[in-house]
Amino acid sequence: MGMSSDHVQSTEYSAALASEGSAEAPYLELLARGASADAYEQPVLLARAEGRPAERIAALEAAKLLALRVRSDMEVRRRREAELSALFETAHDLAGLRDLDAVLRAIVQRARSLLGTDVAYLSLNDPVRGDTYMRVTEGSVAARFQQLRLGMGEGLGGLVAQTARPYVTDDYFADDRFQHTHTIDAGVRDEGLVAILGVPLTLGHHVIGVLFAADRRARVFEREQIALLGSFAALAAAALDTANLLTETRAALSELERANEIIQDRSGVIERASDVHDRLAELVLRGGGVHDVAAAVAEVLDGAVEFTDAAATPAEALEASRTEGHAVRHADDWIAAVAAGGELLGALVLHGHPGLDPVDQRTLERAAMVTSLLLLARRSAAEAEQRVRGELLDDLLDARDRDPRLLRERATRLHADLDATHAVLAARLDSTAADADQEAAARRRLWSAASHLAATRHGLAAARDGGTVLLLPLETGDSTTDLARRTARQLGSAVHEPVTVGASAPVRDLAAHPDTVAAAYEEGRRCLDALRLLGRAGDGAAVEDFGFLGLLLAGDRDIAGFVDRTIGQVVAYDERRGTDLVRTLDAYFACGMSPARTKDDLHVHVNTVAQRLERVGRLLGDDWQSPGRTLEIQLALRLHRLSAPVRR
């Protein structure tokens, strides 16, 4: 008799648990075969049922949480890959446009699939009749809804058309921002729609239609989903624009007597456009970059093409291209804006081509669109890496994952070395934002700049407590003070606002002792508070710069930490060797730093006092008797004496 699949899985889990392997083994198998989230409870339940040791069960619990996080990350990446793949496929469909309705249907179908909505549809304006009508629907079941013709300015679509901006409602019938009409409401009610998102299809300054995604239940559409639907709307508008261009071309050909010559003249241009589209598709598939796109277009158009940042492009021409959705001429050059969701990312500039064929112009515009997709993909990958760096630092700060081997492996994948000497830095903006949205945006800029700095320095960064925390390695000959000041300058320059940075003392062996990161972060925060109280906003300093003044200025005074940093090595030496260095220091300062009077107070020979003080110098450093150091040492001795238990 054959065994059930559940029994087979239980047998596999039992074998994994009975083996000498690690707790991660059963979860690696679950990840490999793409098991559901519920299946990740099975190894723990089975271990409990078999009476496994508590340590084994705890290890399985920790491994389960890690595996579920990895599974979640994999699902996010798969979803983003699917979104980019759909956009690339749609762009490729557009490049080889033959049937406009087929392209629009593909856009609506992919939008509905990726956003996971019940219905998606596209409406177009009819300038002849002065209204708008349903062109394509996907998932619709109501005939009246599919045949709607609406007056201009009515319904949510009318609001989108008027403002040329996306609008979303999570409860259509309770939303009074737009004009409700009996015809529209009846159609929406027949379809059972509740939550609706609409984004405009624009050509230049004109809205030519609206792309919608809707659910039959209340739903909140995320910013990424709105941007994704906007990208599909841009492709739909481009498809319509291309179709209009083809229609105009056919009309012109039918009116010209020299149709044959015109077709031959245009064939070379069309072949070049087809060639560049094929090249761009190949570049996307093999992971090419924006400069590869520029090189491919330059070869096809027989000119010099480069990608430029928005700041390095003529502002007027760039804005005209973004607004009109077309490449525009500037002197002897052509400029095509590279934009995504209203954000200017740069431009593709074709140099030395004052006379450009319309199809070649469209080729340059398509290349700009592909460039924006590649930049968005690169940004998504960078943001994913930033989140992973932040998660590792969060784990170190919260000391959740204490397995040194796992910590080192995670750090190695991020090109970080937890065995190197580091400093923990707390960074915070010092300007006051006008409202909560501006403050949140400023914090995001700080986190982004800190993440970039951490990636280039082989460190880690995470958002925390309204600011940012960084874990950066110390270079040979570098002090924590130098690192703090340099970091404050770099972050302030990146976000164009003053950034104050406080640094901890150096920390080591982070993989073996992850709890030291949390303590070092508290040091950095106290140093940050001290800087702000002293009016040194926008500066950087380390805990070693303040000494006992840090106790006076910090809101949460770390007395034990101050004593340990100041005389901790002497106290530890006494505890290990049974010596009296601390008592000798007390007597030495009480006797006005006179060895002769100290030996009388301790009832020992003066050579003994000298030997003990020499040992103190080796432990604390040659400058331990300088005025500043003696003040701190005497304060630390008194705090140490006061914190010791009273002997009865």
CA 594 vs. chain centroid, Å, equals 61
> Who has greater pLDDT, 570 or 546?
570
Inter-residue contact 540 to 486 (CB < 8 Å): yes
DSSP states of 578-600: ---HHHHHHHHHHTTT-HHHHHH
Lowest-pLDDT range, 103-112, 183-192, 350-359, 468-477? 350-359
More confident residue, 18 or 630: 630
At residue 646 the predicted structure's pLDDT band, cuts being 50, 70 and 90, is very low
More reliable by pLDDT, 294 or 127: 127
Residue 425: its pLDDT value, please? 92
Mean of the per-residue pLDDT values for the chain?
A: 78
Compute the distance between CA of residue 514 and CA of residue 526 in angstroms, rounded to an integer: 20
Is pLDDT of 314 > 70?
A: yes
Asked whether the predicted pLDDT for residue 554 surpasses 60, the reply is no
Average pLDDT over residues 83-89: 57
The domains located in the chain, with CATH, are 24-75 (no CATH), 97-249 (3.30.450.40), 287-381 (3.30.450.40), 399-553 (3.30.70), 559-643 (no CATH)
Q: Identify the pLDDT of residue 200.
A: 92
341 residue type, one letter: G
Q: Which two tokens stand for residue 89?
A: 């496929």
Please choose, from the candidates 100, 96, 98, the residue with its C-alpha nearest in 3D space to the C-alpha of residue 240: 100
At 347, list the tokens. 């431009």
* Region 542-570 average pLDDT: 69
DSSP 215: E
pLDDT at residue 185, as a whole number: 92
Q: For residues 236 and 211, is the Cβ–Cβ distance under 8 A?
A: yes
Outline where DSSP puts E strands in 521-645: 540-542
The more confidently predicted of residues 246 and 307 is 307
Q: Which two tokens stand for residue 380?
A: 């998504």
Would you tell me how many other CB atoms lie within 10 Å of the CB of residue 54?
9
What is the per-residue pLDDT for 642? 60
Quickly state the pLDDT bin for 121 (edges 50, 70, 90): very high
Nearest to 279 by CA among 257, 296, 254, 299: 296
Distance, CA of 531 to CA of 537 (rounded, Å): 7
At 117, is the pLDDT very low, low, confident or very high (cuts 50, 70, 90)? very high
CA distance 392 to 182: 55
Say whether pLDDT at 293 is over 90. no
Range 140-155 average pLDDT: 88
Provide the b/e sequence for 215-249 (b: ≥16 CB within 10 Å). Answer: beeebebeeebbbbbbbbbbbbbbbbbbbeeeeee
Please give the pLDDT value at position 318.
78
Structure tokens at 390: 């932040």
Nearest of 43, 111, 33, 31 to residue 72 by alpha carbon: 31
d(CA 406, CA 398): 15
Q: Which residue has the higher pLDDT, 424 or 40?
A: 424
| pLDDT at residue number 251 | 66
Confidence grade of residue 320 (pLDDT, cut at 50, 70, 90): confident
97: alpha, beta or left? (left if phi > 0; alpha if psi -120 to 50): beta
Q: What is the pLDDT averaged over residues 457-474?
A: 87
Q: How confident is the model at residue 552 (pLDDT cuts 50, 70, 90)?
A: low
Predicted confidence at residue 511, as pLDDT, reads 75
* Cα(519)–Cα(97) distance, integer angstroms: 61
pLDDT above 50 (res 33)? yes
Q: Is residue 133 over pLDDT 80?
A: yes
- pLDDT, mean of residues 439-457: 83
Q: Check residues 513 and 286 and name the one with the higher pLDDT.
A: 513
Residue 520 has pLDDT above 70, yes or no: yes
The SS3 assignment for 562 reads: helix
pLDDT score, position 136: 92
Average pLDDT over residues 558-583: 85
Can you give the pLDDT at residue 105?
A: 87
DSSP character string of 344-406: EEEEEEEES-SS--HHHHHHHHHHHHHHHHHHHHHHHHHHHHHHHHHHHHHHHHHT----HHH
Please report the pLDDT score of residue 272 as a whole number: 60
Confidence band for 8, pLDDT divided at 50, 70 and 90:
very low
Average pLDDT over residues 605-625: 90
Higher pLDDT, 477 or 166: 166
**What count of other Cβ atoms lies within 10 Å of the Cβ of residue 194?**
19
Question: Which are the contacts of 122, defined by CB distance < 8 A and separation ≥ 6?
Answer: 104, 107, 108, 134, 135, 136, 137, 201, 209, 210, 211, 212, 236
